[in-house]
Amino acid sequence: GCDIFIMASKSESFGLAYSEAWLYKKPVIGAYCSGVMEVIEDGINGFLIPFGDKGMLSEYIVKLLANKDLRDKIGRRGYHKVINNYTWQKRLESFLCFYH
């Protein structure tokens, strides 16, 4: 299995892969870039690092692997973000509110 999802790309449009990892309640690590910063709340539902910062990436990996409670808490927060904001039902509600 997977304990942590890491995708520290230089650019990302929305961050769908992070949302998919959150559906499995996994903590995520991404790089500061436009699409990623809109979905990951640093320290809340994942961690953000400067692109290419291997030292900080290593620190977060060690921190998460050493602390199961933190992994679970961060993963749950991400899961709730997806369920509360990105399901088809939530998107439909937003769409209908826009037209009323």
Which residue ranges form the domains of the chain, and what is each CATH number?
A: 5-99 (3.40.50.2000)
12-51 tens-digit pLDDT: 777 789 999 999 999 999 999 988 998 999 999 999 999 9
| pLDDT for residue 95 is more than 70 | no
Quick one: which of 49, 46, 48, 47 has its CA closest to 77? 46
Structure pTM?
Answer: 0.86
DSSP letters for 43-96: TTTBEEE-TT-HHHHHHHHHHHHH-HHHHHHHHHHHHHHHHHHSSHHHHHHHHH
